[in-house]
């Protein structure tokens, strides 16, 4: 389970070779890029957008939790992050399309500092022996053990998605630290299409995260992470997963959960097979009726007003006591909306990890 870690080569010219990870350094000298090649053509992100824009107007009925994140609203985008088998410092790569629609944008150089990126893989028994890739982002210039936010990706993406494809979460984390706030790290792992709960095929992405990935993070000295108190972040499928796994661990170990567009289905007659294998599976793993599990965990939930999960999300939140911090604005199930609300979520997680 212990990976070998090594530094990324300092400066490499563009290379194109079949099936390899190709690394190059931007002229600015501050951002590494890595892209997987097929033949001699780099895979590059698309440029679709859905028209949603801006930070959400946040409605916070119980907690005044988002003010410290206001300064992050003007943050630029950061490069994506790729990983392959083995362990190494990695650089950014665009993520695949999300379900049902996502967008992506070209990366830009951050204002100050670039997060340190590490990648690795392990053979997961919970995923039936699947080689499972992970990425960790640490703020640059910070030494010593750090608390960590576990990042859970959406359907049809993988561990790279939060670090590219228009989200670039590591850049916002770095900016948060550059402003003098308490540092933390980000850790993402590839859970495939598991929906973070036991599936009929024998896989269990949720157990993989809790029983394999968290111990790996805690037990890899080179990463310098602590998992005695963690945060969860996720969007879409990963939003549901972050809520489910956060509730399973509970407070005080879980300091906070922040999610965007959580994939919640409130009607047992409408759940899709990709999310649940049967009615019994839905009944065993639905979060409806489980709201009491979140009483002591600070929650921040974001969902665009035209998102397909907006109604179910509002219905689910109605059962939470105390009410969570909630934000909404015009927007759909897209990277553009998620990117717009992400600065406030990073600030929310950072404050609660430091509390």
Domain assignment of residue 294, yes or no: yes
DSSP 160-176: TGGGSTT--HHHHHHHH
How many structural domains is the chain composed of?
1
User: Which DSSP state fits 44?
Assistant: -
What are residue 325's DSSP bridge partners? 300
State how far the Cα of 65 lies from the Cα of 68, in Å rounded to an integer: 7
Residue 295 domain flag: yes
Indicate the SS3 state at residue 299. Answer: strand
User: What confidence tens digit (pLDDT) does each residue in 208-267 have?
Assistant: 999 999 999 999 999 999 999 999 999 999 999 999 999 999 999 999 999 999 999 999
Residue 78 lies in a domain: yes
Whether residue 26 is contained in a domain is answered as no
Lookup: tokens for 212: 């394999």
- Return all residues near 228 (Cβ < 8 A) that are at least 6 apart: 253
Q: Using CB atoms within 10 A of its CB, is residue 291 exposed (0-12), middle (13-18) or buried (19+)?
A: middle
Question: How many other CB atoms are there within 10 angstroms of residue 185's CB atom?
Answer: 26
Question: What is residue 306's DSSP assignment?
Answer: T
CATH of the domain at 331: 3.40.50.1820
Q: What is the pLDDT of residue 64?
A: 33
User: Is residue 70 in some structural domain?
Assistant: yes
Q: Which has the minimum average pLDDT: 73-82, 170-179, 235-244, 313-322?
A: 73-82
Q: Is the pLDDT confidence value at 28 over 90? A: no
| Per-residue pLDDT reduced to its tens digit, 35-53 | 222 222 222 223 333 333 3
Segment 310-325 mean pLDDT: 98
Tell me the mean pLDDT in the region 113-142: 96
Residue 312 has pLDDT above 60, yes or no: yes
In a domain, 45, yes or no: no
Residue 65 domain flag: yes
Helix (H, G, I), strand (E, B) or coil at 118: strand
- Residue identified by tokens 């609660």 is 352
Token pair belonging to 332? 């759909």
Within-domain flag for 2: no
In the prediction, which pLDDT does 113 show?
A: 64
Q: From CA 269, how far away is CA 267, in angstroms rounded?
A: 5
Residue 171 has what pLDDT?
97
Domain housing 128: 61-354
């Amino acid at each position: 389970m212990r990976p070998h870690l090594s530094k990324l080569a300092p400066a490499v010219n563009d290379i194109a070779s079949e099936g390899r990870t190709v690394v190059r350094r931007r002229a600015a000298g501050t951002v590494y890029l890595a892209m997987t090649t097929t033949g001699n053509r780099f895979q590059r992100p698309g440029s679709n957008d859905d028209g949603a824009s801006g930070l959400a107007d946040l409605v916070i009925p119980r907690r005044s939790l988002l003010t410290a994140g206001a300064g992050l609203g003007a943050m630029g985008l950061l490069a994506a992050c790729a990983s392959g088998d083995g362990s190494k410092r990695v650089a950014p790569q665009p993520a695949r399309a999300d379900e049902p629609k996502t967008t992506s944008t070209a990366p830009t150089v951050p204002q100050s500092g670039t997060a340190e990126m590490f990648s690795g893989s392990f053979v997961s028994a919970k995923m039936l022996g699947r080689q499972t890739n992970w990425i960790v982002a640490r703020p640059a210039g910070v030494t010593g053990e750090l608390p960590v936010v576990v990042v859970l990706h959406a359907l049809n993406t993988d561990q790279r998605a939060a670090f590219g494809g228009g989200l670039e979460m590591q850049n916002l984390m770095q900016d948060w630290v550059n402003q003098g706030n308490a540092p933390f790290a980000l850790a993402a792992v590839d859970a495939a299409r598991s929906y973070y709960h036991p599936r009929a095929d024998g896989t269990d992405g949720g157990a993989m995260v809790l029983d394999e990935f968290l111990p790996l993070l805690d037990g890899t000295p080179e990463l310098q992470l602590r998992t005695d108190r963690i945060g969860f972040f996720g969007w879409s499928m990963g939003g549901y997963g972050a809520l489910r796994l956060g509730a399973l661990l509970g407070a005080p170990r879980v300091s906070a959960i922040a999610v965007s567009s959580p994939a919640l289905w409130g009607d047992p007659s409408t759940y899709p097979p990709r999310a649940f294998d049967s009615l019994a599976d839905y009944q065993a793993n639905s979060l409806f009726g489980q709201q009491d599990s979140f009483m002591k965990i600070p929650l921040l939930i974001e969902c665009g007003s035209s998102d397909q999960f907006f109604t179910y999300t509002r219905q689910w939140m109605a059962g939470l006591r105390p009410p969570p911090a909630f934000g909404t604005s015009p927007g759909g199930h897209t990277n553009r909306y998620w990117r717009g609300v992400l600065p406030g979520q990073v600030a929310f997680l950072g404050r609660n990890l430091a509390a």
